[in-house]
Structure 1
Amino acid sequence: MTCQKLWTRNFIALIAANGFLFASFHFLLPTITVYAASLGATGAQIGLIGGIFGYSAIFIRLFTDTGVRAFGKKKCLYAGLLLCVASVLGYMLFPSADAIIFARVIHGLGFGLSTTFAAAIAADVIPAARRGEGIGYFGMGSTVAMALAPAFGLYLLAESAIWLFTASIAVSLLALMMAYACKTKEAVTELPPTPPLRSSIRNRLCEHGTAGPSLLTILFGAGYGSVNTFIAMLAAEKSVENAGLFFVIGTLFVFISRPFGGRLLDRYGAFAVVLPGAVSYLLALGIMIMADSLTGLLVASVFYGLGAGALLPALLTWMLNMVRSDRHSAASATFYNMLDIGTSTGLIVLGTLAGSVGYTHMFMYVMGIMALFLLLAVFQYYHRSEQVLAEAEEL
């Protein structure tokens, strides 16, 4: 069997576009609320600025089918990136809390379109037999952005908000240039008619046939978002300094796990990656809870990187493999919707809980969420195995 080529010009352009898109996002993730507070935003406005972005992204993904039918995947990707540029320009030109809230809605719409269609186009570009490996590499750009961009964004804000927003606009434009450099031709497919609205709302939020990995993605979104957001608070509660090194070490092990996890998925299926990834993430949480030094947190970061690096691309690839090629946009939208629902809802609930019980005890609840993830994954694995055996007996 010949090895299908993965590293094409189009694939490399998409990795770069995705990386620049997430760099722009992570520049602003820790800084936009700080900037809003400096303008006199109230606590309620700051909370809205932080939360409305995710729900705006979820909303626009409900209409990915409509966008594909009307304009195609690449034009939808361009539109999303242009909305990202316009929204950051709005932050810079209209320095008021109300204007930032409005621009944040626009930014969520643009980010929702961009992430969905970048992943959908990548799924089309990657050879089907190497999709797990390819999706793992595709996410490398966003991994680098998550590790480096937040600290750089805080540095730029300390110098000047104008510098921060200019840098965010610049990398968004680079993402647009890289997306344009991807010269894929969209397959002409006879698409079935759009289903009636009353029967398609659920399917627009969660693509038909992807309920299993969708539920797991919601749970992982809560677990993943809680670590990314609250690890610094946990370290402060334990009087541990230099907690930022957690993400440096974690990112290193994400890089190590993704190529191997992708190849494992392509050869043995999603469960071969999801189950050990969940165990690794549970170990990370347990070590974080018990750690009382920086060394303990860094040991936890190793298992965090291995677990997150395995689970994120595996869940996305699992959904993409469950649908026809003309439904890749819908499957990609489902993945990001479920991740955002889990992250946004988890942060609200767990953040409120932490205010009452502290961050150490809050992470015990996060362990419970990931234990439920593992139990459901094992259940789906054995349920799927029974189905395969039943089908084999019928032949």
Structure 2
Amino acid sequence: MGTRQQFIRGVLLLIILVPQSSVQISSTVPAIILFGDSTVDPGNNNAIPTLLKSNFDPYGRDFYGGKPTGRFCNGRLATDFISEALGLPPTVPAYLDPDYGIREFAAGVSFASAGTGLDNATSDILAVIPLWEEVAYFKEYIQRLKRYMGKAKAQRRLREAIYIVSIGTNDLLANYYTPGIHSRSPQFTIDQYQAFLISIADSFITEIYRLGARKISFSSLSLIGCLPMQRTINAANGGCFEERNNVAREFNLKLYQLAGSLRARLPGIKLVISDLYDYVQDILFNPSKYGFENVDRGCCSTGMFEMGFLCNAMDPFTCPDANTFVFWDASHPSEKMNYLLAMKSLNSALAQFLS
């Protein structure tokens, strides 16, 4: 094990004793670039006409200055902590945030949109930014970056940046398993739909590779059946929706197969699957080990089904200390959980980019 990886592992031993502390790894990573859904969206949805927003209290109550930024969390996202640990700014800005420009975006930028998916039909459900449009913004960003620092330096930065892609949960939970005009369930069996999503992931990764991306981390699905909202839907049977957790595991296996295929086809690509399924499972089934007291509902409101506008400052039930909760609302991790996920990612998948 390399010295840097040993350091990261040592940091993990401290995170329970010193939650959400600032850690920094000696790194030459010049930028972090994000694609995906709410897990990596710091506020792009603020700029589009969608109902899926979180730029109001109590979201962001533990963020700098207690500011609701559009992050679906009480504080920072996992990718904010990753950015800080790499010696980059402590938050990654949203590309559509008018308060930031190419100077800030050169070190980190997110094109992600809460509620989106690999499938265009998923983004149509709540009128959010589809993945193809995230790529269009990336192309625009590349041209801005070249004008800002010159073509050669921009191309080098694009090659050396770390790309984190977190997407897919909404395709299953908001699309396939939710009846509606955009649902794909009448068209596909679950196996067929997973194959369809994998084909889109293949095209997406190939496209950003063509545009200059080399160090790419694609997040696997977690225990989607254990989200508080899914527990609420499955209340009659009690506990997690194990069928949906099994689907997530099957999808993750297909992601690993895709990664192997892409590494064989795309010279110089460094593609890893960031798989935190087992780690999250351990947290959910041994919460006290990580300092948590609640795993089955979110801190905000009743925590059983609320997110977005249903999680608001007028609700009297929101918990006083989100650090005791794995989830902030019915679908999204608390800041403390995001911190743990960030440190685990740095110690596993992302460590391959730091050696």
TM-score, structure 1 as length reference: 0.27
Structure number with higher helix proportion? 1
> Bigger radius of gyration, 1 or 2?
1
Greater relative CO, 1 or 2 (CA 8 Å, sep 6+): 1
TM-score, structure 2 as length reference: 0.30
